[in-house]
Amino acid sequence: MNQESGASAASARVDGRVERGNRTRQSVLGRTVDIASVEGLEALSVGRLATELGISKSGVFAVFGSKQELQLATVREAGRIFTEQVIRPAEQVPAGVGRVWRLCELWLEYSRGRVFPGGCFFYGVIAEFDARTGPVHDALVSAHRAWTDLLERTVEEARAGGELRPDIDVPQLAFELLALMETANGVAVLHGEETAYCRARTGIAERLRSAAAEGSPAPPLP
């Protein structure tokens, strides 16, 4: 075997290992986000995942290295899914009250449609880690802050564009909208019914209508 063919064979082996590693990673994360949304991040274990997915413990460990890295990767994957389901579609709506309303609607649908079987992934795991310290806590704080900052920016865009009254307290309004969404998620998951989502939509619509500038578009009452 000449040097060139030897290098090609070595490259193929490396590429094959990378591909297998990527497949393992996606398979594992597809399961961990579901487990964590119901049972919490502490319920994740290499042994359990290896058994449930029919892969070796060493294969899982080789990809993630530790339980903490597995938890962190799960948080990142949940964030990626949330972005695809909620944030990106809302960005297709022009800035203003319509985008605020659409963002809230998409969040409620993300919870109601059980993108994660436990409802909102972050609602559950933040409660699990809120009083702790460490990298997982910090990752959840960062994810939650990014979401609340986005909601505030979206409300501020609507105010700056003249669609909300200029005296509106932007952080307060965003806080109230978030509280309605999270309460709907918690009540619906606990009781296994969807009435809370209807109540949240009504509350959000009424709050935005009361905050709208005169003559500005406002969401219809459900």
How would you write the pLDDT of the chain (222 residues) with one tens digit per residue? 565 655 554 444 545 566 676 788 899 999 999 999 999 999 999 999 999 998 888 888 888 989 999 999 999 999 999 999 999 999 999 999 999 999 999 999 999 999 999 999 999 999 999 999 999 999 999 999 999 999 999 999 999 999 999 999 999 999 999 999 999 999 999 999 999 999 999 999 999 999 999 988 778 777
Please list, residue by residue across 40-72, b when 16 or more beta carbons sit within 10 angstroms of its beta carbon and e when fewer do: bbeebebeebbeeeebeeebbeebbeeeeebbb
| Rounded Cα gap, residues 113 and 28, in angstroms | 22
Q: Which of 221, 174, 177 is nearest to 198 (CA)?
A: 221
Give me the amino acid identity at 46. Answer: V
**Per-residue pLDDT at 15:** 56
CA distance to 36, 120, 188, per residue, from 191 (Å)? 19, 15, 5
pLDDT digits 0-9 by tens, 186-218: 999 999 999 999 999 999 999 999 999 998 877
| Rounded Cα gap, residues 113 and 73, in angstroms | 23
Assigned fold of 66-211:
Tetracycline Repressor; domain 2 (1.10.357)
| Residue bearing tokens 């090609």 | 8
Question: Which residues fall within 8 angstroms of residue 120, CB to CB, at 6 or more apart?
Answer: 37, 107, 110, 111, 182, 185
What are the domain boundaries of the chain? 66-211
What SS3 state is found at 212? strand
**Per-residue pLDDT at 10:** 45
| Rounded Cα gap, residues 103 and 150, in angstroms | 10
**Per-residue pLDDT at 12:** 45
Helix 46-53 with 3-39: angle, nearest 10 deg: 100
